[in-house]
Chain A
Amino acid sequence: MNDERNLLPYWLSAPGTLAMLAFVALPLVLTLGLSLYPFVPGTGVGEGLTATHYLDIARDEYFHTIFARTFGMALLVTAICVLIGVPEAYVLSRLSPRWRAASMVVVLGPLLISVVVRTLGWALLLGNEGVINKALLALGLISEPIKMMFTFTGVVVALVHVLVPFMVLAVWASLQKLDAATEQAAASLGAGPPTVLARIVFPQVIPGVLSGGLIVFALAASAFATPAIIGGRRLKVVPTTIYDEFLGNLNWPLGAALAAVLLVIVLAVSLGANRFVERRWKQVFQ
């Protein structure tokens, strides 16, 4: 089994590895290369190497706004997901098995439904003619529709809906590992329920919160469909900008440069946070 000279594992993983190298690694490297070519309007990719696209991104106010919006949005979405996802996971763990099974389908099930469908639902809810505005108008709470479509708030709400199941899932997983005896031990030592929650339960699920937060942040920063549909043309984020540069302006090199920057930031945050989590929590949790 542990024979160091055994080539079997390499043969077994060779096909998958080749597929990944050919269709993930190689294209990404090529894209990095593409971002260094000049853009020639009309023909597309020009000759020679240049860092001009990266300089543009670094200097241009326009891109700064987009990047700030994207990562601000991602941070806000992550914060809200922590705020509502952690308690929800806890509530789930405390439901009777029957209710839990049903709630689980409601809470996690949407992950399996296409983002397009879920975002369409929010478009129907948030529009000026949408359900929420109609209801508020009918109740006489407002006299004219609140603008929610094509706003930052609208995108954040829809993104939270799309991503919060990941947070619930991650926290739920670490709650499952939690030994109920630790809570009983704390109770036997005189801790009341709030103290048990704060001092015993919460610290043990922090790794789950962190890994869930990481997933939500990375996915929020790279979300395309929701910002495109709810945010519209004017509320651009990095992914929609890449789309516009690539398929609208046909400025592939600039699109590639934006993609490279996005990729580097997302990977840096993910790997950095992972490293932090491992160093900080590894000793405690196996």
Chain B
Amino acid sequence: MNHKLSGNRWPLRAFHAAFVVFMLAPLLVVVLVSFTDKGYIALPFDGASWRWYRAILAAPDFIDAFWRSLALGAAAATLATVLAVPAGMAIAWHRFAGRDALLGLLLSPLMVPHVVLGIALLRFLTQIGASGSWWGLTAAHTVIVLPYVLRLVVAAATGFDRSVAQAAQSLGASGWTVFRRVELPLIVPGVAGGWLIAFINSFDELTMSIFVASAATQTLPVRMYNHIAHTIDPLLASVSTVLIVLTLAVMLVLDRFYGLDRVLSGKA
């Protein structure tokens, strides 16, 4: 697969260029619009300004929502990791009755539309008197990001030579020591990648959160969605640009250490 485009390469190149433009265009437009000095969406505009970035500072509800999403993402990703690591090791290293069913159950949130999960959790949390609660939202996010961690943990653990653990055992290490000194260090890269992907997915999640979050626990995507439903103004563009820049940073980290393709398809 290492030979470059050969033969008549221009049609493919033109196609690739068009594809890249298509992928970038909406993001570039958002970034450009955010620098307008007008009070409304206008492109092209005459004067560039930081006006709408200063406006973010004057919009405490966006800032609160940002920190809330950050905390929620960190909490959900951490909880999901704590749950997914042992389950992933069981699935990768043991053959037991019900293993396939277990894997299916743990990955099921990937198959269920988020609207459906959203209303199901809204109803459920209302019935147990936890609607609009912080922990309910965290639990909801934990289960939907768990599959992302699980996939990477299973991939990392499956690629791990079992005889390495046997070697440690033969040298006198107990089960717990083998885990702490040998198995865990070797799957840590997968776990870390899984945590990051889980964090991002939680941070970005909109559809389920719309149902589960209350006015007091609005996440940033929900706050932005509610704003868009009301009006589209350059403030949204500047907030979005901040998000794009932050995401780009995470993206470069992921690409550097794992390769985006592998971490996104759950094969790191």
Instruction: State which of B1, B44, B123, B139 has its C-beta within 8 Å of the C-beta of A31.
Output: B123
- Distance from A222 Cβ to chain B, minimum over Cβ atoms (Å): 3
Question: How many angstroms from the CA of A123 to the CA of B233 in the assembled complex?
Answer: 11
Q: Contact between B113 and A262 (Cβ–Cβ < 8 Å)?
A: yes
Decide if B33 is an interface residue (CB 8 Å cutoff).
yes
Q: A103-B16, A112-B247, A175-B1 are in contact. Are A124 and B26 (CB under 8 A)?
A: yes
Q: A13-B102, A25-B105 are in contact. Are A121 and B26 (CB under 8 A)?
A: yes
Q: Contact between B251 and A109 (Cβ–Cβ < 8 Å)?
A: yes
Instruction: State which of B4, B89, B142 has its C-beta within 8 Å of the C-beta of A94.
Output: B4
Question: How many angstroms from the CA of A252 to the CA of B224 in the assembled complex?
Answer: 25
Instruction: State which of B113, B243, B244, B261 has its C-beta within 8 Å of the C-beta of A104.
Output: B261
Instruction: State which of A17, A28, A123 has its C-beta within 8 Å of the C-beta of B102.
Output: A17
Q: Contact between B86 and A16 (Cβ–Cβ < 8 Å)?
A: yes
Q: Of residues A120, A222, A267, which shows the largest number of chain B Cβ atoms within 10 Å of its Cβ?
A: A120
Q: A115-B204, A266-B113 are in contact. Are A88 and B30 (CB under 8 A)?
A: no
Question: How many angstroms from the CA of A114 to the CA of B117 in the assembled complex?
Answer: 19
Question: How many angstroms from the CA of A221 to the CA of B150 in the assembled complex?
Answer: 25
- Distance from B127 Cβ to chain A, minimum over Cβ atoms (Å): 7
Question: How many angstroms from the CA of A116 to the CA of B15 in the assembled complex?
Answer: 27
Contact with A along B180-223 (1 / 0, CB 8 A): 00000000000000000000100110110011000000001100
Q: Of residues B2, B28, B124, which shows the largest number of chain A Cβ atoms within 10 Å of its Cβ?
A: B124
Decide if B74 is an interface residue (CB 8 Å cutoff).
no
Question: How many angstroms from the CA of A13 to the CA of B157 in the assembled complex?
Answer: 15
- A contact residues around B89 at 8 Å (CB): 12
Q: Contact between B237 and A105 (Cβ–Cβ < 8 Å)?
A: no
Q: Contact between A108 and B43 (Cβ–Cβ < 8 Å)?
A: no
Q: Contact between B120 and A19 (Cβ–Cβ < 8 Å)?
A: no
Question: How many angstroms from the CA of A115 to the CA of B243 in the assembled complex?
Answer: 11
Q: Chain A's interface: helix, strand, loop or mixed, by majority? A: helix
Q: Chain B's interface: helix, strand, loop or mixed, by majority? A: helix
Instruction: State which of A121, A263, A266 has its C-beta within 8 Å of the C-beta of B27.
Output: A121
Q: Contact between A178 and B113 (Cβ–Cβ < 8 Å)?
A: no
Question: How many angstroms from the CA of A210 to the CA of B23 in the assembled complex?
Answer: 22
Which stretch of A54-62, A140-148, A165-173 is in the interface? A165-173
Decide if B257 is an interface residue (CB 8 Å cutoff).
no
Contact with B along A255-286 (1 / 0, CB 8 A): 11001101100110010000000000000000
Question: How many angstroms from the CA of A155 to the CA of B128 in the assembled complex?
Answer: 37
A interface with B by C-beta (< 8 Å): 1-2, 4, 6, 8-13, 15-17, 19-28, 30-31, 34, 84, 87-88, 91-96, 101, 103-118, 120-125, 127, 129, 131, 134, 158, 161, 164-165, 169-170, 172-173, 175-176, 178, 180, 193, 218, 221-222, 224-225, 228-229, 238-239, 242-243, 246-247, 252, 255-256, 259-260, 262-263, 266-267, 270
30 contacts between A and B (CB under 8 A): A1-B162, A2-B95, A9-B93, A16-B106, A17-B105, A20-B105, A23-B139, A34-B123, A84-B19, A91-B15, A94-B3, A94-B5, A103-B16, A103-B20, A105-B252, A112-B254, A114-B204, A114-B224, A116-B224, A116-B228, A117-B244, A120-B237, A121-B25, A124-B29, A131-B43, A228-B225, A228-B229, A239-B115, A252-B119, A259-B119
Of all A-B residue pairs in the complex, the 10 with the closest CB atoms, nearest first, are: A121-B26, A222-B113, A27-B120, A9-B90, A27-B124, A12-B86, A12-B90, A9-B94, A16-B87, A13-B87
Given contacts A8-B90, A23-B140, A125-B25, 20 further A-B contacts (CB under 8 A): A9-B94, A15-B82, A19-B139, A25-B108, A94-B4, A95-B4, A95-B16, A103-B16, A113-B204, A113-B247, A114-B240, A115-B204, A120-B228, A173-B261, A238-B115, A243-B115, A247-B211, A255-B119, A263-B112, A267-B111
B interface with A by C-beta (< 8 Å): 1-7, 12-13, 15-16, 19-20, 22-30, 33, 41, 43-44, 82-84, 86-87, 89-91, 93-97, 99, 102, 105-106, 108-109, 111-117, 119-124, 127, 139-140, 142-143, 146, 150, 162, 200, 203-204, 206-207, 210-211, 220-221, 224-225, 228-229, 232, 236-237, 240, 243-244, 247-248, 250-252, 254-255, 259-261, 264-265, 267
